[in-house]
Amino acid sequence: MSSVYLGLIIGLIILVKGADVMVDAASKIAHILNVPSYIVGLLIVSLGTSMPETAISIISGIEGRNLITLGNVVGANTLNIAIVLGLTALVFPLDVDSEVPKRQLSLYIIIELAVVMMLYTSNTFSRVEGAILTSGMVVFIFYILRKTKRLSEKEKPETKLEDEIFDYIEGHDILAESLADVPEHKTLTDRHDKGTSMSRQTVLFVIGLAALVIGANLALDNAVLIAQILGWSEALIGITVVSFGTCLPELVASMVAAFKKEEGLAVGNIVGSCIFNILFVLGISGAISPIQLASNDIFFDLSIMIGASVMLLIPTYFYGRISRLTGFLFILYYFIYLAIKLNH
């Protein structure tokens, strides 16, 4: 028993340290690229923290158990907004002063409604519809990359003549030293420093992400063992420990980002994870094996997921802030939903 508790503690330590390294690296990558941290959270951090849901869903799709995939995606997205962002905002209120989150949240709600329509029309999610969602993920990534490029190009561009002069200076130490303190001649050094720093931060980001996932899995495995030792039922373990466990990467990453005043990174991580879960995770699983609904119960869960998204859009759009009160309402919303599910 003591070894199980020790494993849980070690897993949590690795998880938090991994998140710390990853968030620091992501923040510096955003600075190097001259883009808001929200963009890095939306495109890079979110893909990494969604790995548990991706693994579970792809395996379920290959085994033909796609209802698990659908339930996992809907449950994870509801948890991401209601619990992950709710707990984060409850501890560290989040300022979201950007047009980008508003646009991406609106896009996410449209995607949710599209999935509901796909399922409602025939009670089936076909391979074609799965391929459409997967293609949508490719388009979304392309759109974000183009936006990132436009934002990074807002810096003053170097002329061809400047490049030639700086390349010549690089090979002449005395001249380089004499110009080192002149602001307009620092571009060459900065350019090479950025390249080196970018490589270093990318490596640190990958190391932090790996530690985040390993720590989350270790903590989850030992938490399940503890619940079993305490005599919890499989249903209770699944709806509590496993559900919360698969969202641990998002939760810890967002908490650490908010603590470091990287609110954009925290919100971008959650919104990006939700979009990724629907477009890629659900899409690729549906493309592998069609999803046939056994009952209409999933539509209640889908409505709860959409409701959580609308609850997030309102304070973000009108106030540019997710307050402690909003965080508390998110958590209350989820536990009301959980109580209804357990008594159904």
The one-letter code for the residue type at 328 is: F
Q: Which of 113, 36, 31 is nearest to 313 (CA)?
A: 113
Give the pLDDT score at 1: 64
Give the pLDDT score at 95: 85
- Average pLDDT on 285-292 reads 84
Q: Is the pLDDT of residue 182 over 70?
A: no
- Average pLDDT on 137-147 reads 85
pLDDT digits (tens, 9 = 90+) for 52-87: 667 766 777 677 766 777 887 888 899 999 999 999
Contact indicator for 40, 265 with CB cutoff of 8 Å: yes
Q: Is the pLDDT of residue 186 over 60?
A: no
The CA-based dihedral angle spanning residues 206, 208, 214, 215, taken in that order and rounded to the nearest 10 degrees: -170
Q: Is the pLDDT of residue 157 over 50?
A: no
Q: Is the pLDDT of residue 260 over 80?
A: yes
Give the pLDDT score at 240: 62
Q: Which one-letter DSSP state was computed for residue 92?
A: S
Q: Is the pLDDT of residue 120 over 90?
A: no
Q: Which one-letter DSSP state was computed for residue 81?
A: I
Q: Is the pLDDT of residue 190 over 80?
A: no
Domain ranges of the chain: 2-137+194-343
Which residues make Cβ contacts (< 8 Å) with residue 32, sequence separation at least 6? 194, 197, 198, 201
Q: Is the pLDDT of residue 307 over 90?
A: yes
Give the pLDDT score at 332: 96
- Average pLDDT on 11-24 reads 79
Give the pLDDT score at 159: 44
Q: Is the pLDDT of residue 166 over 50?
A: no
Q: Is the pLDDT of residue 238 over 60?
A: no
Q: What distance in Å separates the CA atoms of residue 147 and residue 245, rounded to the nearest whole number?
A: 33
- Average pLDDT on 293-317 reads 88
Position with higher pLDDT, 149 vs 168 = 149
Of 207-211, 274-278, 303-307, least confident by mean pLDDT is 207-211
Contact indicator for 16, 224 with CB cutoff of 8 Å: no
Q: What distance in Å separates the CA atoms of residue 252 and residue 217, rounded to the nearest whole number?
A: 13
Q: What distance in Å separates the CA atoms of residue 255 and residue 89, rounded to the nearest whole number?
A: 9
Q: Is the pLDDT of residue 312 over 70?
A: yes
SS3 string, 266-309, reads: HHHHHHHHHHHHHHHHHHHHHHHCCEECCCCHHHHHHHHHHHHH
User: What is each CA distance from 80 to 2, 86, 88, 147, 226, in whole angstroms?
Assistant: 31, 9, 10, 25, 24
Which residues make Cβ contacts (< 8 Å) with residue 157, sequence separation at least 6? none
- Average pLDDT on 89-116 reads 83
How many Cβ atoms sit within 10 Å of the Cβ of residue 121?
9
Give the pLDDT score at 156: 45
Q: Is the pLDDT of residue 174 over 50?
A: no
Position with higher pLDDT, 279 vs 173 = 279
- Average pLDDT on 268-286 reads 88
- Average pLDDT on 151-172 reads 51
Q: Tokens 């001259």 map to which residue?
A: 34
Q: Tokens 């209802």 map to which residue?
A: 67
Q: Which of 159, 258, 150, 195 is nearest to 32 (CA)?
A: 195
Using pLDDT thresholds of 50, 70 and 90, give the confidence band for residue 233. Answer: low
Give the pLDDT score at 330: 96
pTM score of the predicted model: 0.75
Kindly report the average pLDDT of the chain as a whole number. 78
Give the pLDDT score at 99: 54
- Average pLDDT on 31-36 reads 76
Q: Is the pLDDT of residue 123 over 60?
A: yes
Fold exhibited by the domain 2-137+194-343: A middle domain of Talin 1 (1.20.1420)
